[in-house]
Amino acid sequence: MVLCLLALPIFAILSIFSLKYRQLTKDAWNCLLKTATFRKCESGLDDRIKSSITGSILGISPRLAKFFYKNYKIISWLILFLFIWSIYVSGYGIYNYIVYGNCNGAQSAAFCAIKASETLWDKLIGCF
């Protein structure tokens, strides 16, 4: 279930460029809709991705693969939380850049990866 929430936007973007991910996008969408209506996901998407990742890790370390396989749900929730948090932080940084001209807020002198001499908002207003 958790993976459906995370997989849908990622596979949707990847499916634009690759036919391989279009079926995965359909499966993630179907799984998400069924999960939202409290039905069991029948696509097996979670199991396929879990097996694929575990198989990749197995080549590196069997103990790590066993740990991942046993704690898959917790790791999935953690990745989903980090994904949502990163979208929030990125949106907040973009908002601050548009309004204040830096990533961190009105009176901040902290590091910002995007430097501007004047705010983007001022540039947009100056065009009119």
What confidence category does residue 66 fall into, taking pLDDT thresholds of 50, 70 and 90? Answer: very high
Residue at token pair 């204040």: 100
Q: In whole angstroms, how large is the CA radius of gyration of the chain?
A: 20
Residue ranges of domains in the chain: 1-51, 86-128
3-state SS assignment for residue 40:
coil
Q: What pLDDT does residue 115 have?
A: 60
pLDDT at residue 72 greater than cutoff 60 = yes
What is the distance between the alpha carbons of residues 117 and 18, in angstroms, rounded to a whole number? 40
- pTM of the predicted model as reported, rounded to 2 decimal places: 0.65
Task: Count other Cβ atoms within 10 Å, centred on residue 53.
Answer: 15
Whole-number mean pLDDT of the chain? Answer: 78
Q: What pLDDT does residue 101 have?
A: 73
Note the pLDDT tens digit of each residue in 18-59: 777 788 788 888 877 777 787 777 777 778 888 888 999 999
CA distances to 32, 50, 70, 84, 124 from 75, rounded to whole Å, are 19, 11, 10, 14, 43
